[in-house]
Amino acid sequence: MPAVVETIAGLRSQLRIAAAEAATASSPQPLVALVPTMGALHDGHLALVQRAQESAAIVVVSIFINPLQFGSSEDLDRYPRTVDTDVECLRAAGVQFVFAPTIADMYPTGPTQTRVVAGDIGAVLEGNSRPGHFDGMLTVVSKLLNIVTPDIVVFGEKDAQQAFLVKRMVADLDIDVVVETVPTIREDDGLALSSRNRFLDGNQRTAATALPRALEAAASSAGAGTDAALSAARSVLEAEPAVELDYLAIVDPETFLAVDAEHRGPALVLVAARVGTTRLIDNHAIHLG
């Protein structure tokens, strides 16, 4: 059974003990990996856990629904809370530590006045649709990194803009941690695994597969350039009336800036849409010819 720790002091204490017990002559300081989550775990999260276990001797999975990254009109109260099921899932996966702090422990005096600001890239795409989201995300990630002090932190590639911004924060602030990313895990129908998929009914679930199909269409047309890739993806999305498109964009993965019509080489096509009341995101690496 993993140790479920709810306080910052308690986690730090238990990690010191675990590190001492795991130390050997050849590895006096065992590597620690952190997998930050908001719970409602699925196979996508378990892929992150597996990468962490392959990379480090001690694995910490955090479960914390961070209020700072939800806007006033977003689904904080609706977000699934399944801690008992999550802990059992992590037990079966062999995780040593689950860090499940309360809001009061993470923010003892209320929402923290000191924030990490995501900058210009934090205000586009997801940041434009969810103002302040990335500031809240980076703030809690920086707190978790300071609490756990891991050698490695693992994120999923489905949240591509999040992973980009975490990597940039780590570089900009000289945080001594390696950021690893894991490819998106998909359902048999191509839909990217997400904690929000459970809110889709049968018809909505079928409609939602338009997102991965649109990305595949973009990839298939990428040899003809940016405009052709976008047009191919947009055609798939427009053919599904239940999908309300938020954005469709192609960016340079090195800068996360939108590419122009002359761009050639690696790129990332991103999509966000609402199906019913559920907002979904997805992305696909492509090569523009």
Work out the number of other CB atoms within 10 angstroms of the CB of residue 20: 10
Tracing tokens 């492509």 back to the chain, one arrives at 286
Is the distance from CB of 193 to CB of 212 less than 8 angstroms?
Answer: no
Is the distance from CB of 244 to CB of 276 less than 8 angstroms?
Answer: no
Q: Please report the DSSP string for 9-38 in residue order.
A: HHHHHHHHHHHHHH--SS-SS--EEEEEE-
Q: List the catalytic residue out of 42, 45, 263, 284.
A: 45
**Beta-sheet strands, E only, within the chain:** 3-5, 32-37, 58-63, 97-99, 152-156, 178-182, 243-251, 265-275, 278-288
Least Cα distance to 107 among 37, 4, 8 occurs for 8
Q: Please confirm, yes or no, whether 45 is among the known catalytic residues.
A: yes
Buried b (16+ CB within 10 A) or exposed e, 40-75: bbbebbbbbbbbbbebbbbbbbbbbbbebbbeeeee
Tracing tokens 């629904």 back to the chain, one arrives at 65
- Residues labelled catalytic: 45
